[in-house]
Amino acid sequence: MGTLAYMSPEQAREMQVDSRTDIWSLGVVLHEMLTGHLPFGGATASDILVSVLEQEPGPLTEYLPEAPEELKRIVTKSLRKDREKRYQITKEMLLNLKALKRELEFTFNRKTYG
């Protein structure tokens, strides 16, 4: 079934899963890597399930005040409760992450080298 904190809402409800479930889990990992905290948690298994099913993750800016808007959008989109509003394929998410990387590198180089 999976690890509760990384489980998508549809997986927690024992519904049909597809690649968008993996995108959700990738979003959880990305959030955790960026903030050091899981986006959904609780003291018990039931609390974690309720969090996954009913609560929204705290904003990235709570942990990363300087987070770029595009990064916040990518993480938020990957963690949409409604899988129809989530990334539909990982390639779409990858393209957005690569575009963000290029933008950040360009900004860094402009600041560093004028």
Query: For the segment 80-90, what is each residue's pLDDT rounded down to a tens digit?
Result: 999 999 999 99
pTM (predicted TM-score):
0.90
Give me the architecture of the 4-113 domain, per CATH.
Answer: Orthogonal Bundle (1.10)
Residue 2: its pLDDT value, please? Answer: 64
pLDDT of 96 reads 98
Check: CB of residue 27 under 8 Å from CB of residue 79.
yes
Where are the chain's structural domains? 4-113
CB of 22 within 8 A of CB of 28?
Answer: no
Per-residue pLDDT tens digits for 64-82? 999 999 999 999 999 999 9
Whether residue 60 contacts residue 67, with contact meaning beta carbons closer than 8 Å, is answered with: yes
DSSP string across the chain? ---GGG--HHHHTT----HHHHHHHHHHHHHHHHHSS-SS--SSHHHHHHHHHH-PPPPGGGT-TT--HHHHHHHHHHT-SSTTTS-SSHHHHHHHHHHHHHHHHHHHHHHHH-
